[in-house]
A and B are shown apart, each in its own frame.
Chain A
Amino acid sequence: MGDRDEPGAAQMLDAYFEAARAETAAPSTELMARVLSDAQSVQDGLLAPSDKAMARFAGLRRAVRALGGWPAVAGLASATVAGVWIGATQPNALTPYTSLLQQDAALYQIDLPAGAGFDLDEGTL
Chain B
Amino acid sequence: MPLDTLSDISDDILLARFAKGDRVAARALTLRLTPRVLAHAVRMLGNHAEAEDVSQEAMLRLWKAAPDWRSGEAKVSTWLYRVVSNLCIDRLRKAQPDGLDTIPEPEDPRDGPADVLQRHTRARALQSALGRLPFRQRQAVVLRDLQGLANPEVAEIMETSVEAVESLLTRGRKALSADLAGRRAELGFEDG
Contacts and interface: CB of A to CB of B under 8 A. Distances in A.
Contacts of B31: 32
Contacts of B138: none
Contact of B125 (A11, A16, A24, A32): A16
Interface string B21-48: 1010011011100110011001100001
Interface string B166-192: 100110011011001100100000011
A40 B64 CA distance: 11
Interface in B47-62: 48, 51-52, 55-56, 59-60
B60 A38 contact: yes
Size class of the B contact interface (CB-based, 8 Å): 35 or more
Interface stretch (B82-90, B94-102, B115-123, B152-160): B115-123
Nearest to A3: B170
Interface of B: 18-19, 21, 23, 26-27, 29-31, 34-35, 38-39, 42-43, 48, 51-52, 55-56, 59-60, 63-64, 66-67, 118-120, 122-123, 125-127, 145-146, 148, 166, 169-170, 173-174, 176-177, 180-181, 184, 191-192
